[in-house]
Amino acid sequence: MDIKRAELFESLSSLRKGFLWIIGTVILLSALLFPFARELLRHLHRSLSEDLVAYGIPEAFFSLFKLTLFASLFLSIPIIFSYLWKAFSPLFRKRGLESSSIVLLAAIFLFYSGAAFCYFVTLPFGIQFLMGYQSATIKPMISVAKYVSFCVGFIFAFGLAFELPLILALLSYIRVVNASFLTRNRRYAILIMAILSAVLTPTPDVFNMALMGGPLYVLFEIGILLVKIIEQRRPADDTASPST
């Protein structure tokens, strides 16, 4: 790995200073969004035909509070990524990466693309599939707290999963991976993606697993392509490579 421990600790120290700004932003957005929590829940509930229920007196309030918190985190992603990149970008600039703003914009775009794909495609199909198991003897009573946690966790998982090609490209800059290593171990990557799809998707059927596994594989191949481009632009006398 072409990275020094001192540089890593310096980046972590810089990131720690940005935590207060991130926390402050999340708190401020939560305060602004809480009056609209019921409207947010209505949009999240659009894929479910059944009513949500609260199994305790405070459950409705805490569910709306949780949804507000996740919504504020969702809207704070540009700021969170900005501080993350501000802390770690020196590691990559020292190794030839010049387009810092492009990396940040790409990270934000990929996260929101993954979240949108989940919200409009995967989540509705997954919920419809699960609700298909109800019958005359099985009537669903869905807790609002569990429903909120299920949906927002799934959306964030897709958002982060879509960062895969960018992560591979950045790891290439610090010599953790190279195109040869990724290509040679493609079958293991496919296995890992299949396992992740089975764990993260809400249903065990092949169709819904493919809704996540398919995009992940495409993103993996895009990542390999980006790594190859980076290696082609690397100086010819730079022979550093990751351990395999």
Calpha distance 204→60 (Å, rounded): 29
Backbone angles phi, psi at 139, to 5 degrees: -110, 125
79: enclosing H helix or E strand: helix 77-93
pLDDT score at 153 = 85
Tell me whether residue 234 is exposed, middle or buried, using C-beta atoms within 10 angstroms of its C-beta: 0 to 12, 13 to 18, 19 or more: middle
Does some domain include residue 243?
A: no
Provide, rounded to the nearest whole percent, the portion of the chain with pLDDT above 90: 31
Q: Measuring CA to CA, how many Å separate 100 from each of 9, 88, 107, 228?
A: 20, 10, 11, 19
Does some domain include residue 12?
A: yes
Provide, rounded to the nearest whole percent, the portion of the chain with pLDDT above 70: 83
Please compute the mean of the pLDDT values over residues 200-215 and round it to a whole number.
72
Q: Is pLDDT at 47 greater than 60 in this prediction?
A: yes
Q: Is pLDDT at 186 greater than 50 in this prediction?
A: yes
pTM above 0.75, yes or no: yes
Does some domain include residue 239?
A: no
Calpha distance 59→65 (Å, rounded): 10
Does some domain include residue 63?
A: yes
CA 116 to chain centre: 11
Does some domain include residue 241?
A: no
Of 15-29, 32-46, 110-124, least confident by mean pLDDT is 15-29
Structure tokens at 35: 């009056």
Does some domain include residue 35?
A: yes
User: What is the average pLDDT value for the chain, to the nearest integer?
Assistant: 83
The number of domains in the chain is: 1
Does some domain include residue 65?
A: yes
Tell me which residue range forms the domain holding 172: 5-233
Question: Which residues of the chain form beta strands (DSSP E)?
Answer: 52-53, 142-143
Does some domain include residue 61?
A: yes
Count, in order, helices (H) and strands (E) of the chain: 11, 2
